[in-house]
Amino acid sequence: MMPQSKPSGKKSKAGRPQHEPTEAQRSQVEAMCGYGVPELEISRVIGISDVTLRKYYRRELDIGITKANAKVAQSLFQKATGDGSQSVTAAIFWMKTRAGWKETVINEVTGKDGLPLVPTLNVTISRTEPSSAS
């Protein structure tokens, strides 16, 4: 009979080791999320499952898009309030999207000399003679 080994008190862990995010990975996840890359694709780049991504990078996923939007808004605001060639376009875009401005096009159709249109109906009735078959 073989002698039984005594338990050492340590459990053996099966499977992969626990994921430990690096600061570089955190920055990468935040940036990719901000660019609109789907979580499944981000997890593939990092080399983990999407479940693990959400478990260890929840904060980066939550704030990535907000930080990206804030950066774009800052750039647009600086252009809109600046003096460069893009300032008018940026200012118009800002006012339409943030201040509720809109462009309204009104097309008015009038008749001769600005009078109302007068509908007319032209009907032509013609009679054709039956052809005589010989």
Q: What pLDDT, in 10s, does the model give residues 75-94?
A: 999 999 999 889 999 999 98
pLDDT at residue 19 greater than cutoff 70: yes
pLDDT grade for 110, boundaries at 50, 70 and 90: confident
Q: Does 18 reside within a domain?
A: no
Residue 116 is assigned to a structural domain of this protein: no
What secondary structure does DSSP assign to 64-104, as a single string? Answer: HHHHHHHHHHHHHHHHHTS-STTHHHHHHHHHHHHS-----
Evaluate whether residue 122 is within a structural domain: no
Question: pLDDT value at position 129?
Answer: 81
Average pLDDT over residues 103-123: 86
Q: Which domain holds residue 97?
A: 23-104
Has residue 1 got a pLDDT over 80? no
Confidence at residue 53, expressed as pLDDT on a 0 to 100 scale: 97
Asked, for residue 96, whether it belongs to a domain, the answer is yes
Query: Is 65 within a domain?
Result: yes
